[in-house]
Amino acid sequence: MTPHPQRRRRADARREQIVDEALKTFADNGYHNASIAEIAERCGLSQPGLLHYFPNKAALLAAVLEYRDRLDYDRLGFDQPLRGKEALHRLVRLVEHNEHVPGLVRLFTVVTSEAVTADHPAREWVINRYRMLQTFLATALDDGIADGDFRPGIDTAALARQIFAMMDGLQLQWLIDPQGVDMPTLFRTYIDEVIAYIS
């Protein structure tokens, strides 16, 4: 039997609220220190009430990471082919946007740091995410070489890793000292230097 549309909308809205509160809780406390009880309380639910929507904390983390991925997918434009410099400029715009969503940046930084342990439920997500992003950027850089925008002989896979390492490192420094680290300007300057070096 299909649920009534109004009931389904209420259930979807409740799931969104739970994911939003879980995102904030994981970002503030990390996965291991976050509790279902705290997330349920922030949502005005009992623990069994929250577990009606998500069977356990790992499933809730998966939903939060899927939500974050959807946002990045839209912002990075993975549905459009980006070539050469445009892919690098898109990363700059993503970092500029990230300055306005510190909770998402904190969640990403905390979860990826925790995922270095073999038993972390987000470990596979982190590994796959880095591989996907590095492949995406290396392909865009290869296309830039094919188009004649970049010089041949560049190790595009290694350069893609370096660019994401700079991006993540700046995010970490910015989270620790937001007043002292101008993340967007530093990253934009870095990308301009990369483009000048490989052009």
CATH classification of the domain holding 24: 1.10.357.10
pLDDT band at 116 (very low <50, low <70, confident <90, very high): very high
pLDDT score at 78 = 62
Arithmetic mean of pLDDT, 78-94: 87
pLDDT beyond 70 at 114: yes
Arithmetic mean of pLDDT, 171-187: 97
* Share of residues in the chain with pLDDT > 70 (%): 95
pLDDT beyond 60 at 1: no
More confident residue, 105 or 177: 177
pLDDT, one tens digit per residue, over 117-143 is 999 999 998 999 899 889 999 999 999
State the total domains in the chain: 1
Residue 125 to residue 121: CA distance in whole angstroms: 8
Residue 111 belongs to what domain range?
5-198
Note if the pTM is more than 0.85. Answer: no
pLDDT score at 4 = 67
* Share of residues in the chain with pLDDT > 90 (%): 62
pLDDT score at 45 = 93
More confident residue, 129 or 195: 195
pLDDT score at 77 = 64
Arithmetic mean of pLDDT, 75-98: 85
